[in-house]
Structure 1
């Protein structure tokens, strides 16, 4: 089989040595390391199709992979074949008149944004990893980002896809020309985490760049006060483009790093709020938001006076996870969503849990829609610390569930959240999910072992290695 794959993609693009494969053994969540048997990096659409069809002929499992920036242990697999998509980087078309772009799955998120900006357009979903993550990966995870509060997540911006099923068959979901009738297979595929097949190309919706933008930074003496200000802002009827919160531990990590943004290091929390749209009325929205923050005890509210200052404030937020690397060598990150009104209660619970287990939790998250990202930097080589960290995270996730929340907002389930699926869903619901998956992938060869617990869904079990094939 190796020779066949080399004949398709070229020997240079089939990786089989252990040192080469270590590049693919983890995603952005390094706690999960699974060494694949092979990695194949097709460079064209036809090569990708031929690779998947060859794997189907040999009944071999595979996992599609973009940039590997995911945070759920999703785009990896022990002793299976990784199909790397980051050579498929063509922007096939920009239809500015209709607000659409047609791209291959390896196009980097920010690259698409830069390509459409001269037309006065933007691709709105902006994950914090947008300088590296790919559109294909965004589709797999239904990625969001700070500005999804106003603009929505990936599923709100994908209008059509060409999908390569694990069998090697090509199907088209949706249409760039509008509704097609029938079932919403586009919505079903977006967020399927590579379990239904591979996106060969994607049509995405573009939106106009806003006429004006205002960015505010408010700092508070308590996390609780900042959380209450969030609810106050949303209750006014103003819909910010983004409404982010960082606690003191995060602020200090950012300000000690190369991503320093000028956040006040003595603040218990900061809110980074952005409103955009037509110039008329925007300053009134800013004044209302400022009053909401002051009502809840904001020490100061700063408005970015220039694009450079705005960019600096956002750099600190988007590079916050990277800044955690100064604290300890390993990081565990979660992705729960709770009702916005429950933020004060849940954040207090997270603080209590961190104190009880003696771990340092940093909170940096999308406050406007209650999408929490509690993260703990630690040393995985310290067995006692690792045990305390993982026990703390389990309790944090349960606290989010108990508050009426969900276990993921934008990072996906992958391997990391498998243990929580049975807490969120009944066996009947999980069995239904499994039945849907089986329609797309009867043998469960595409990213096996992800999303649905094995006890709820028969998983494909491949051979230990394909080296002999």
Structure 2
């Protein structure tokens, strides 16, 4: 748990007055009871009361806020819907939180270009709802899509259960309009298949609010499939389920969705959602096919054969759209369902090679004994993005510390097997120490060089995502001698 820092009352009055000079009074929150709802994002174990919160209504107001922050040298923390799980929107005691919640208009939906232009506060699911009359939808579908905003999705490069076939946010955003800390509006990407110059759009997506404030996003829309079905495949052990994922991909099949849940997660979800899961299975896979009716029938048949060969003990194919949606509802409600069986949970996010799924699941099971905590495993199995849910009780002395150590050990394992410490939740403050496990001095310097190019004064979301070299050295993850790091990946555990 990170200790909170008291807010300087005099500095708060100064900054709030400066903000009210450029914004309507209703757009500025400075009293502690008004700023309290912004003290954390979805990572509630880390909290800090912000100095001031602003809620601009327009792009011009965003620029005005950034100008004030630059002149007063006030750090800025961008915030979308607050559903992030890595502390990326955690405030600073001496900083301003810019909420984009009121920039929430869908500006245009175009059937001919299959695109939509939206402001950053628009909910992910609202884009698909607006495009539905045209037979189109926005493909990335994070579990929080009913609440999360497209601006936050851009910041974290969010995915979802259908990202295997349709890609992450970076594959579905055509253009972003960005307010820089220096008071300029820039556009990255464009409506054409390619844009001139360096591909800064890909650099910006996933930058966690460290490079600029998104004010407008152009997203790609795709046709709604004519048909879709899901196979629920049961396995007697998690290793067989993990191996089956690799077998499906090796067979040349790219499902619309390929998700895995272990018995712990299935049993915590079923009473909550009544999805119809096999509660006797050690692991279940959800494998979806979409397309025309003939394409779906053929792919379901092929996947069923592969899954049987891989050791599936039972196969259930969704009989109608309602059952298909129930299967997915169970997977998408895994996080809230954890609250039914545990006072607290810690959701991790790492990515591993698909072929190492079985090995990693077995190692996590061993770690449960090591740390004395339960772990429910849910996976975007098709692309190796894992979301272990570590169950603990923060009221019990030492359990939060053990949960954090458990999570860090899982991330170190991801690196060990050739993966990475994040997939779609970002680094934020949660994984900043684990960055020291994965990256060496030259890589961190390159990250900071990009940061300085956009934000030379280091005011945008400082102390998030990229650890300093000193921090890594102090943590013991790097041995520094004469400014050099002879061992780029010296493990901490």
Matched, 1:202 2:217: yes
Q: What residue is the counterpart of 1:438 in the other structure?
A: 452
CA deviation string 1:46-71 (max 9, x = no partner): 22222222222222111110001011
- C-alpha distance in 2 between matches for 1:457 and 1:431: 13
Q: CA contact under 8 A between 2:56 and 2:98: conserved in structure 1?
A: yes
Q: Residue 147 of structure 1: which of 162, 177, 185 is its match?
A: 162
Per-residue deviation at 1:168? Answer: 1.6
- C-alpha distance in 2 between matches for 1:194 and 1:274: 33
Per-residue deviation at 1:456? Answer: 6.1
State the TM-score, normalizing by the size of structure 2.
0.90
Q: What residue is the counterpart of 2:180 in the other structure?
A: 165
Q: What residue is the counterpart of 2:393 in the other structure?
A: 379
Matched, 1:43 2:57: yes
CA deviation string 1:425-465 (max 9, x = no partner): 1101101110110010001101010111133699xxxxxxx
Per-residue deviation at 1:255? Answer: 1.5
Q: Residue 421 of structure 1: which of 435, 438, 446 is its match?
A: 435
Q: What residue is the counterpart of 1:311 in the other structure?
A: 325
- C-alpha distance in 2 between matches for 1:111 and 1:36: 29
- C-alpha distance in 1 between matches for 2:471 and 2:120: 28
Matched, 1:129 2:129: no
Per-residue deviation at 1:283? Answer: 1.0
Q: What residue is the counterpart of 1:454 in the other structure?
A: 468
Per-residue deviation at 1:299? Answer: 2.3
SS of residue paired to 2:350: coil
Q: What residue is the counterpart of 2:488 in the other structure?
A: none
Q: What residue is the counterpart of 1:364 in the other structure?
A: 378
SS of residue paired to 2:404: helix
Q: CA contact under 8 A between 1:30 and 1:331: conserved in structure 2?
A: no
- C-alpha distance in 2 between matches for 1:18 and 1:454: 31
- C-alpha distance in 1 between matches for 2:271 and 2:171: 36
CA deviation string 1:291-346 (max 9, x = no partner): 22222332221111111111111111101101011122322111111110000111
Q: What residue is the counterpart of 1:464 in the other structure?
A: none
Q: Residue 4 of structure 1: which of 15, 18, 22 is its match?
A: 18
CA deviation string 1:367-397 (max 9, x = no partner): 1111111111211222222232222222222
Q: What residue is the counterpart of 1:321 in the other structure?
A: 335
Q: What residue is the counterpart of 1:248 in the other structure?
A: 263
Matched, 1:352 2:366: yes
- When the two chains are superposed, the root-mean-square deviation of aligned CA atoms in Å is 1.5
Q: CA contact under 8 A between 1:27 and 1:73: conserved in structure 2?
A: yes
SS of residue paired to 1:373: strand
Matched, 1:100 2:115: yes
- C-alpha distance in 2 between matches for 1:364 and 1:81: 35
- C-alpha distance in 1 between matches for 2:215 and 2:152: 12
Alignment CA distance shift 1:308-1:297 (3 Å) = same
Q: What residue is the counterpart of 2:203 in the other structure?
A: 188
- C-alpha distance in 2 between matches for 1:368 and 1:129: 19
The 5-angstrom pairing of residues 231-246 of structure 1 reads: 231-246=246-261
- C-alpha distance in 1 between matches for 2:282 and 2:363: 16
Per-residue deviation at 1:123? Answer: 0.7
Q: CA contact under 8 A between 1:30 and 1:330: conserved in structure 2?
A: no
- C-alpha distance in 2 between matches for 1:106 and 1:389: 32
Aligned length: 457
Q: CA contact under 8 A between 1:44 and 1:88: conserved in structure 2?
A: yes
Q: Which runs of 5+ in 2 are unaligned?
A: 1-14, 473-493
Higher relative contact order (CA 8 A, sep 6+): 1
Q: CA contact under 8 A between 2:441 and 2:469: conserved in structure 1?
A: no
- C-alpha distance in 1 between matches for 2:137 and 2:223: 6
- C-alpha distance in 2 between matches for 1:390 and 1:447: 23
Matched, 1:211 2:222: no
- C-alpha distance in 2 between matches for 1:6 and 1:331: 39
Q: Which runs of 5+ in 1 are unaligned?
A: 459-469
SS of residue paired to 1:218: strand
Matched, 1:14 2:31: no
State the TM-score, normalizing by the size of structure 1.
0.95
SS of residue paired to 2:293: coil
SS of residue paired to 1:256: helix
Moved over 6 A (4+): none
Q: What residue is the counterpart of 1:302 in the other structure?
A: 316
